[in-house]
Amino acid sequence: MRGRRGDALRRPSVEAGGTGRLGTHDGIAEAAECSLDPGAAFVTGTDLLVDGGGVAALRAER
């Protein structure tokens, strides 16, 4: 969504997250690429949360 309405909808997400910005498609792709790297072969059975610190920020407010 573009324009003032889009800005108003995005602002709370940006402010709540730990990075101060919205994520990008490239950021998601880089996280996936990292998990597929041979160096990550010992990492199993986990979920990779790619949210820019949003969940951590929400938990910190409690």
> 32-60 burial by CB neighbour count: b if 16+ within 10 A, else e?
eeeeeeeeeeeeeeeeeeeebebeeeeee
CA distance 19 to 16: 9
Residue numbers of the chain with a pLDDT score lower than 50 = none
User: pTM higher than 0.85 for the full model?
Assistant: no
pLDDT in the model for residue 6:
78
> How much is the pLDDT for 5?
82
Q: What's the confidence (pLDDT) of residue 30?
A: 94
CB 18 within 8 A of CB 57: yes
